[in-house]
Amino acid sequence: MVLEVIYIVRHGFRSNWVVDPDTGVYSSNVPSPTGIHSDPALAGYGVDQAKQLAEKILTLDPPVDIVYSSPFYRCLQTLKPTTEQLFQERGGGKVRVENGVGEFYGRARFDHPSPAPLSVLHTHFPDLDPDYTPIIIPSTNGETIEGLHNRIAYALHRIVAAVDADPKSPRALLICTHAASMIAMGRVLTGRMPKDPSEDDFKCFTCSLSKFVRRRKENVAPNGEDTIGGKWDRASPDDIPNVGWRNGKGVKGGWNCELNGDCSFLRGGEERGW
């Protein structure tokens, strides 16, 4: 059996930060738990959203089998109400922290801050998988919009290949990510890339939920090592292998979008759609 469903959520309403475009210096009024200005915690309102999201996720069919998250604090904090109950009911579980589904920064002549290392994150979130190795890590110089989509496509291709090869035969995967990355995920899973990247196609409201159902099954590669076009090399972060998702193909057989940024379970409804 192979993976059937991918659920994608955006993090909840967060605290803010600013960056000086001339110097690249980030700053924030509310201290970050990780000490990184661009890695804020959720605002109180976002914490409430995360609890409402957890109530929804725990009713999903098929239920979530595996959880991936961006390495930024706000994503892991958003997942916490869900994973605490989910893992308790199952007698254990781990979140796989994947940089490949992390935040999008535009190109800049200065370095953007990197997320906190797993050792720091683990002090705040004990249910992180210490043995998981990220598939791809974005350049600290940021990315173009095309680069974002290439990065997301490669990460999802490798994630799906690995889950397909899991002997436990998981059916459903949950990913917590960010606004631009959530939009890009919808595009690479369905294979639908608009001519104008600013087109309002896939929704990304805070704590919204999207659902993608697989169109067709592909042969499962041994050990999840299916990598069309080779493997990504950290020494050349912008040289991302092509996984052939465009022109309607989609990643790993393609996916249909059955929920697009659903917020019906949130008391505040659709907010901050980016």
Q: pLDDT exceeding 90 applies to what percent of the chain? A: 77
In a domain, 66, yes or no: yes
- Measured between alpha carbons, how far is 219 from 127 in angstroms, rounded to an integer? 31
Let me know if residue 149 belongs to a domain: yes
Q: Quote the pLDDT of residue 42.
A: 95
Question: Going along 45-154, which residue ranges are E strands?
Answer: 66-69, 95-97
Kindly indicate the confidence band of residue 108, based on its pLDDT and cuts at 50, 70 and 90.
Answer: confident
The mean pLDDT of the chain is 92
Structure tokens at 124: 């705040």
Instruction: Answer whether residue 265 shows pLDDT above 80.
Output: yes
Q: Are strands 95-97 and 66-69 parallel, antiparallel or unpaired?
A: parallel
Per-residue pLDDT reduced to its tens digit, 61-92: 999 999 999 999 999 999 999 999 999 999 99
Report the C-alpha gap between 218 and 222 in whole angstroms: 12
Q: Residue 210 above 80 pLDDT?
A: yes
pLDDT tens per residue across span 234-260: 888 889 999 999 999 999 999 999 999
pLDDT digits (tens, 9 = 90+) for 216-225: 776 666 666 6
* pLDDT, mean of residues 88-117: 90
CA distance 257 to 212: 5
* pLDDT tens-digit map of 17-41: 677 777 767 777 778 899 988 899 9
Residue 54 belongs to a domain with what CATH number? 3.40.50.1240
110, pLDDT greater than 80: no
Q: Is the model's pLDDT at 202 over the cut of 90?
A: yes
Number of domains in the chain: 1
Strand ranges (E), the chain: 5-10, 18-19, 26-27, 66-69, 95-97, 172-177, 209-214, 255-262
pLDDT of 170 higher than 70:
yes
Supply the pLDDT for residue 25: 74
Residue 272 lies in a domain: no
Tell whether 242 is covered by a domain: yes
Would you say 112 and 76 are in contact if contact means Cβ atoms under 8 Å apart? Answer: no
- Residue 268 inside a domain? The answer is no
Contact between 110 and 23 (Cβ < 8 Å): yes
Evaluate whether 238 touches 137 at the Cβ level (below 8 Å).
no
What is the predicted pLDDT for the residue at 219? Answer: 62
H-state helical runs in 125-203? 145-164, 179-190
Residue 68 backbone phi and psi in degrees, to 5 = -120, 150
Per-residue pLDDT, 142: 87
- Report yes or no on 90 lying in a domain: yes
With respect to residue 270, please indicate whether it lies within any of the assigned structural domains. no
Structural domain span for residue 183? 5-262
Q: H or E element: which one contains 80? A: helix 73-90
Mean pLDDT across the stretch 201-205? 97
Within a domain: residue 271? no
pLDDT for the residue numbered 1:
64
Q: What is the sign of the dihedral through the CA atoms of 159, 165, 167 and 172?
A: positive
